[in-house]
Structure 1
Amino acid sequence: MKGRSYIGVLVLIVCLNSLLVKYHSYFSDEEDKIYIIYTDNTRNNETSLLLHYKSLLQQVTKRHLPKTILQYYKKSFSVFVAKLTKEEANKMAGLKGVVSVFLNQKRIWPESSSFDDKGFGPLHTKWNDSCIAFNFSCNRKIIGAKYYLSTSNEPLSQADFESPRDSKGHGTHTASTAAAGNPVTIASMLGLAQGTTRVAIPSVRTFVYKVCWSTGCFDESIHAAFDEAVLDGVDILSVSLRSDSIDNTNHFKDVISIGAFHAMRQGVLTVVAGGNFGPRPASLHNLSPWTIVVGASTLDRRFITAVKLGDNRTYEGVSLNAFDLEETLYPIIFGGDASNTILDVFRRKSRFWKLNNTLDVRLVKGKIVLCEGKEGVEEAFRVGAIGILMYGPTLPEKALSYPLPACFLQTKDVTGIFKYISSTRNPVATILKTYELNDTLAPVPDLIAPGVNILSSWPSNLSISDILGETRKSEFNIKSGTSMSCPHVSGAAAYVKSFHPTWSPAAIRSALMTTAKKMSPVNNRDAEFGYGAGEVDPVKALHPGLVYDADEEDYIKLLCGHGFNTTAALQLITGDNSSCSEITPGSARDLNYPSFVLKAAHPKQHVSGRFHRIVTNVGTPFSTYRAIVTAPRGLHIYVIPSVLSFTSLGENHTYVVIVDGVLKKSMVSASLTWDDGYFNVRSPIVIFDERAERVATSSTLRNVVIITVVVIFFSFAIIIIRYKELCIFL
């Protein structure tokens, strides 16, 4: 077994109210705005670079004093930030040496036991440790922490800490979910989900970058964090962050896409959250093909909360109810029967309680209230209800905690409760404490990366819910979203990187994808569009046999071949003098990606396509791989050549995949596996037509589907925990 190296993993910590933070702009059109100016990269000296920036500003301003350079980056980007009028920005964009000008669009609790540095040795010399804070202490676990304020001088909220310290909980939870935390025994959220929290890499060291505040996350801050992370020596960036733009295709103005490209150029892999808008078409965010995009999935456990009526009938629903009413029965009332008539509130409004003062405190206080939907929790809590029952057509996948006993039920079950209330003079009920149930009916496997009902560390000064008036606190909390799944995959990538420090980001992605366990399209309607390459096995990913590698030139060819062929647009991403005229544009089908995706021109008609791939031998020096193809009836898939023989490690071989046939369904799944008798290098093949686009999500880079969505093998944390000497960064 190969030895492991000291590597670095970055968590780009974001801490806002949403589980997946978005960044946005808030400026009006009438005033000077903050612009990000992206220039060429011909000046390496900091002094000459700064003079160049000032010269550019002097060429566009008519004012007596030159514009102040608010911020500039000199490590990975040739970028500076300045206040400009719209006219000045347009002039700036036309200057020689300026690639692009665009508007600036708008953390972690170190005392958590997950970040205890007990047993950690001295820092490796490759790491530039830095801890910038007045109320934040680093140690041998958290070896660096930085924060970035916006140059807009927007005042901070009273809830914000002007330091890397987490004030919302999102950063602490994501950092300790899988990629940064230590194993903690007897962990729970107020008694729920009791057990030991285990992580991907127990010996990980953490470097955190806080770019978000209560007012939002700004591009300039994200730029700076990416820039400094590369200088700090990180190897994996875990980014639980998304843009609020509905246009996922514009890589030129997406700071995460640009930052990830520059990180990739320096050998740093970026893992990003896919977003929390699924499952529905075109719901995926962060689509750059040089990243790994992660979706969220359910676990093989469920949190069940039961409601018991006075007639002894019981109904089961979903919530995180840590309150114990000791089976005491309380009066139950329908919200529509408790309207605040003093304020002339209609019965229908009080069913939903979306507004304050819709319920009559005299009718509700001390009772369990039944309402439609889940927006009425704050109103029920405000008027002193003892508990709340919510209902809707289906049960939610994720369980939520509330500041009072609560349960979410299905509409079909609530029918019985309504009948009981209407037929009983003094209806009563109780809400039982939540219990955990192993979901034995869950498909195996049936997950992407764990992102639903995830127990992880939580700031000790924050309540477990964001409902006004909630006072309960816990060292751990249960949260859901792709923000929670992203660090699981980051940890798996870091594990592979620790054994193969010279592998490129694409090679690591390939190893995770081609060794992933196959999932069943029967149990998952969207098939590969929903779960990607399959269930990742980090231990198996250490030895993939073959890898599909790609570098900066491959991605530039892809961009040039798909409409991103203007010099300014291309150079915005590359940051250098790259030009599409100097290279042969590439097809999306020929990006050296460990998956194959083909869109049919018309439904139920003949479809054909050709893919070129290159594989690199990382298994054994002398090996012969044979192609094994599985395909549905009526679809023919040929591999030329069908046998690849290697005589040394690092040797490359090319091959072609030809797809030909009639697509009878809107989407079909196939696969290609290279097998040498020991290694099985599997790649998914997806053929679809326009009908499938209504139920599946594909990248807007034409036929490139983001099948980097990977899933996690639950026991891997237990398997690798014994490797105490492993030491990586987050």
Structure 2
Amino acid sequence: MNENITEDVTASPRDTIGHGTHTASIAAGGVVKTASFLGFGQGTARGGVPSARIAVYKPCWKDEGCFFSNVLAAFDAAISDGVDIISISLSFGRVDNLARPYFIDPIAIGGFHAMKKGILTSASVGNHGPSLRTIGNYAPWLLSVGASIIDRKFTTKVRLGNGMGTSLNTFDLQNKTFPLIYGGDAPDTTSSNSSLSRFCLPDTLNRTLVKDKIVVCDALVNGTEAFIAGAVGTIMHFVQPHDIPYSFPLPASHIHGDDAARVISYTRNLTSTTPFGTILKSVELRDTSAPFVASFSARGPHPLSPQILKPDLVAPGVSILAAWSPIAPVTGIEGDERSVPFNMLHGTSMACPHATAIAAYVKSFHPTWSAAAIKSALMTTALPMSNAMNEEAELAYGSGHINPSKATNPGLVYDANEGDYVKFLCNEGLSDSRIRSITGDNSSCPENNSTNWDLNYPSISLAASLGSFDNTFIRTVTNVGSSNSTYKATITTPQGQSLAIKVQPSTLSFKSVGQKLSFSVRVSGNIGMRALLSASLVWDNGQHQVRSPIVVFNLS
């Protein structure tokens, strides 16, 4: 579940919201032919690993929210039940606008206990993007998953001046036209004024004025107020383009730019006649620019430990068709009583189980691999992404887009165990008592600590001060490919960046499976204010390309 979803108070495992059904079926749903959401996304639906068995735990309740104790109890139950992978599409907010420390984060604590048992926890990063430092679920022992746009998109035309918007409009007005009214011209004077009604906020519209009309709103809202007020549809506009085709309880379209200007001008400037228009049913198109990071997907850098690059990777999280509880409302809005077997949702909650499924698939090939090894396999085989579509670059997509076809055979993995993470927490300055609140044992810090740069992570990140920087990172790779293999290091640095990278040694020769070899990566250069420098290290033996992003940033 994500932070915006809570389950019904009914003391039953039955899903009355739909979110749990949706995410579970993404991970391991069976094959269903002719699946669709009211005709959209028509085809065969299946989960990532349909042969897997799943156990579902319900720690959140509508009237109580998500108690930390319930979340921890769910982790304990899953670990006790012997699961192989844990998927949690849930993240908690900040504490007094500050990042939540590891020792009071139930997902970080639960994930640590799972890691100790060899269980990888795949977690959503949250839906608070595109601003920086919005990421949730950032503990280094978690797989932190962001959301990407897939190559399916929907457009919803507004018939007046050929305006075209974004939404998932399942309603068919059959080309009938209706009067248009601007929300700012229809305030409920008993409780509102035009400065509020223009946004179509709750309890702001005059029901008499908007009934059986299409309401034009100055904000992207969920359509509740227009729906309750009896409007036949709503056209919403905002200054910035929006890449998410949300579903609404009534015909709706979200427009921007010149289209929005035309609609507003037409609606408000006619004095002698009534403006009319209609909203057409959505049309499904192919988005050739995909994949790129969804606007809502939370961004890094890591709020506590900037030397750890988060998110780890991204997976499909927009327009995802998956199963839906028949007793759950389609939009979650009271009065929307449609019942569907499939729904199309958007969020890092949907991306997370995609990654979970691939992790389970890798686990089926390598049942003895550690949680860190599985995570490394997913990260180092991820498809590189371009900052041309994602200006926050690796702070938005981490190692890249998940790549199921490569993940089972990565060649090399960056492994880590409980002791490595305890050392990491020591280097973070946590006291023994706080570390023990995470580990649940008698862990303590050694007298001589190293640096957190040396946590054996599959990516490299450096928060640099303004000006010059020069840092050396130590990494160790484990051979999981051919017994006799030689890898050579290749560094890729975009032109024009003041960034120098040296790997020592630049060749790694393995003689057996399971052999570990270490190397250093020296990263130096100069950086300006609010800048981000990106590069990559690839270990290549002709068969495997083991890729790690290298990121240096200054956000001051």
Residue identity opposite 2:476 in structure 1: I
2:309 equivalent in structure 1: none
1:241 equivalent in structure 2: 90
Q: Is the 8 A contact 1:180 1:204 kept in 2?
A: yes
Residue identity opposite 2:206 in structure 1: D
1:572 equivalent in structure 2: 437
Per the TM alignment, residue 203 of structure 1 is displaced from its structure 2 partner at its CA by 0.8
Residue identity opposite 2:398 in structure 1: G
Of the candidates 201, 223, 226, which is equivalent to residue 377 of structure 1?
A: 223
Q: Is the 8 A contact 1:354 1:376 kept in 2?
A: no
Q: Do residues 617 (structure 1) and 483 (structure 2) align? A: no
Residue identity opposite 1:373 in structure 2: A
Per the TM alignment, residue 462 of structure 1 is displaced from its structure 2 partner at its CA by 2.0
Distance 1:316 1:534 in 2: 31
Q: Is the 8 A contact 1:453 1:478 kept in 2?
A: yes
Q: Is the 8 A contact 2:5 2:19 kept in 1?
A: no
Q: Is the 8 A contact 2:150 2:290 kept in 1?
A: no
Q: Is the 8 A contact 2:245 2:319 kept in 1?
A: yes
User: Counterpart of 1:206 in 2: which secondary structure?
Assistant: coil
Q: Is the 8 A contact 1:560 1:586 kept in 2?
A: no
Residue identity opposite 1:231 in structure 2: S
Structure 1's 279 and 419: CA in aligned 2 closer, same or farther, altered over 3 A? closer
Structure 1's 674 and 473: CA in aligned 2 closer, same or farther, altered over 3 A? same
Of the candidates 595, 601, 605, which is equivalent to residue 465 of structure 2?
A: 601
Per the TM alignment, residue 428 of structure 1 is displaced from its structure 2 partner at its CA by 1.4
Q: Do residues 335 (structure 1) and 219 (structure 2) align? A: no
Residue identity opposite 1:670 in structure 2: A
1:506 equivalent in structure 2: 372
Structure 1's 347 and 241: CA in aligned 2 closer, same or farther, altered over 3 A? closer
**CA deviation string 1:486-534 (max 9, x = no partner):** 0000001111000000000111111111111111123321111111101
Distance 2:525 2:233 in 1: 59
Residue identity opposite 1:234 in structure 2: V
The ranges of structure 1 where at least 4 consecutive aligned residues each deviate by more than 6 angstroms after the TM superposition are: none
Q: Do residues 264 (structure 1) and 124 (structure 2) align? A: no
Residue identity opposite 2:217 in structure 1: C
Distance 1:656 1:531 in 2: 24
Q: Is the 8 A contact 2:25 2:323 kept in 1?
A: yes
Distance 1:381 1:630 in 2: 53
Q: Do residues 436 (structure 1) and 284 (structure 2) align? A: yes
Comparing 248-257 with 284-293, which one deviates more in the overlay? 248-257
Of the candidates 358, 361, 367, which is equivalent to residue 207 of structure 2?
A: 361
**CA deviation string 1:667-697 (max 9, x = no partner):** 1111111111211111111112234xxxxxx
User: Counterpart of 2:357 in 1: which secondary structure?
Assistant: helix
Structure 1's 486 and 329: CA in aligned 2 closer, same or farther, altered over 3 A? same
Q: Do residues 393 (structure 1) and 269 (structure 2) align? A: no
Distance 2:5 2:139 in 1: 17
Distance 2:153 2:186 in 1: 33
User: Counterpart of 1:244 in 2: which secondary structure?
Assistant: coil
**CA deviation string 1:45-89 (max 9, x = no partner):** xxxxxxxxxxxxxxxxxxxxxxxxxxxxxxxxxxxxxxxxxxxxx
Per the TM alignment, residue 340 of structure 1 is displaced from its structure 2 partner at its CA by 3.8
User: Counterpart of 1:209 in 2: which secondary structure?
Assistant: coil
1:20 equivalent in structure 2: 3
Of the candidates 164, 172, 175, which is equivalent to residue 324 of structure 1?
A: 172
Q: Do residues 683 (structure 1) and 548 (structure 2) align? A: yes
Distance 1:536 1:376 in 2: 31
Q: Is the 8 A contact 1:160 1:167 kept in 2?
A: no
Per the TM alignment, residue 664 of structure 1 is displaced from its structure 2 partner at its CA by 5.6
Residue identity opposite 1:638 in structure 2: K
- Alignment size in residue pairs: 529
1:587 equivalent in structure 2: 451
Structure 1's 258 and 346: CA in aligned 2 closer, same or farther, altered over 3 A? closer
Of the candidates 181, 184, 196, which is equivalent to residue 44 of structure 2?
A: 196
Q: Is the 8 A contact 1:629 1:672 kept in 2?
A: yes
Structure 1's 352 and 500: CA in aligned 2 closer, same or farther, altered over 3 A? same
Distance 1:444 1:209 in 2: 31
User: Counterpart of 1:174 in 2: which secondary structure?
Assistant: helix
User: Counterpart of 1:510 in 2: which secondary structure?
Assistant: helix
**CA deviation string 1:308-340 (max 9, x = no partner):** 13xxx3211112211111101112222233334
Q: Is the 8 A contact 2:474 2:518 kept in 1?
A: yes
Structure 1's 209 and 376: CA in aligned 2 closer, same or farther, altered over 3 A? closer
Residue identity opposite 1:350 in structure 2: S
User: Counterpart of 1:461 in 2: which secondary structure?
Assistant: coil
Per the TM alignment, residue 578 of structure 1 is displaced from its structure 2 partner at its CA by 1.3
Residue identity opposite 2:214 in structure 1: I
2:506 equivalent in structure 1: 642
1:220 equivalent in structure 2: 69
Residue identity opposite 2:92 in structure 1: S
Q: Is the 8 A contact 1:21 1:242 kept in 2?
A: no
Q: Is the 8 A contact 2:149 2:291 kept in 1?
A: no
Distance 1:450 1:306 in 2: 25
2:105 equivalent in structure 1: 254
Residue identity opposite 1:161 in structure 2: T
Distance 1:601 1:352 in 2: 42
Of all paired residues, the percent bearing the same amino acid is: 47
User: Counterpart of 1:660 in 2: which secondary structure?
Assistant: strand
Superposition CA RMSD, Å: 2.0
2:136 equivalent in structure 1: 285
TM-score, reference length from structure 2:
0.91
Residue identity opposite 2:279 in structure 1: I
User: Counterpart of 2:395 in 1: which secondary structure?
Assistant: helix
Distance 2:364 2:352 in 1: 18
Gap regions ≥5 residues in structure 2: 295-313
Residue identity opposite 2:364 in structure 1: S
Distance 2:417 2:126 in 1: 26
Residue identity opposite 1:242 in structure 2: S
Q: Is the 8 A contact 1:393 1:412 kept in 2?
A: no
Q: Do residues 346 (structure 1) and 196 (structure 2) align? A: no
Q: Is the 8 A contact 2:79 2:114 kept in 1?
A: yes
Residue identity opposite 1:615 in structure 2: V
Distance 1:426 1:682 in 2: 61
User: Counterpart of 1:295 in 2: which secondary structure?
Assistant: strand
Q: Is the 8 A contact 1:187 1:476 kept in 2?
A: yes
Per the TM alignment, residue 360 of structure 1 is displaced from its structure 2 partner at its CA by 3.2
Of the candidates 158, 165, 171, which is equivalent to residue 14 of structure 2?
A: 165
Q: Is the 8 A contact 2:413 2:479 kept in 1?
A: yes
Distance 1:285 1:592 in 2: 21
**CA deviation string 1:621-662 (max 9, x = no partner):** 111111111234542211111111111111111111112233
User: Counterpart of 1:536 in 2: which secondary structure?
Assistant: coil
Of the candidates 330, 334, 347, which is equivalent to residue 481 of structure 1?
A: 347
2:308 equivalent in structure 1: none
User: Counterpart of 2:171 in 1: which secondary structure?
Assistant: coil
Structure 1's 590 and 376: CA in aligned 2 closer, same or farther, altered over 3 A? closer
Distance 1:249 1:291 in 2: 15
Per the TM alignment, residue 549 of structure 1 is displaced from its structure 2 partner at its CA by 0.5
**CA deviation string 1:601-624 (max 9, x = no partner):** 22xx22101111111111101111
Structure 1's 345 and 607: CA in aligned 2 closer, same or farther, altered over 3 A? closer
1:415 equivalent in structure 2: 261
Structure 1's 222 and 350: CA in aligned 2 closer, same or farther, altered over 3 A? closer
User: Counterpart of 1:352 in 2: which secondary structure?
Assistant: coil
Residue identity opposite 1:611 in structure 2: F
TM-score, reference length from structure 1:
0.70
Per the TM alignment, residue 286 of structure 1 is displaced from its structure 2 partner at its CA by 1.1
Structure 1's 622 and 408: CA in aligned 2 closer, same or farther, altered over 3 A? same
Distance 2:16 2:250 in 1: 23
**CA deviation string 1:99-155 (max 9, x = no partner):** xxxxxxxx7xxxxxxxxxxxxxxxxxxxxxxxxxxxxxxxxxxxxxxxxxxxxxxxx
Q: Is the 8 A contact 1:22 1:242 kept in 2?
A: no
Residue identity opposite 1:606 in structure 2: S
**CA deviation string 1:682-724 (max 9, x = no partner):** 1111112234xxxxxxxxxxxxxxxxxxxxxxxxxxxxxxxxx
* 1:665-704 mapped onto 2 (5 Å cutoff): 666-691=531-556
Per the TM alignment, residue 22 of structure 1 is displaced from its structure 2 partner at its CA by 7.2
Residue identity opposite 1:625 in structure 2: Y
Structure 1's 579 and 387: CA in aligned 2 closer, same or farther, altered over 3 A? same
Distance 1:359 1:228 in 2: 48
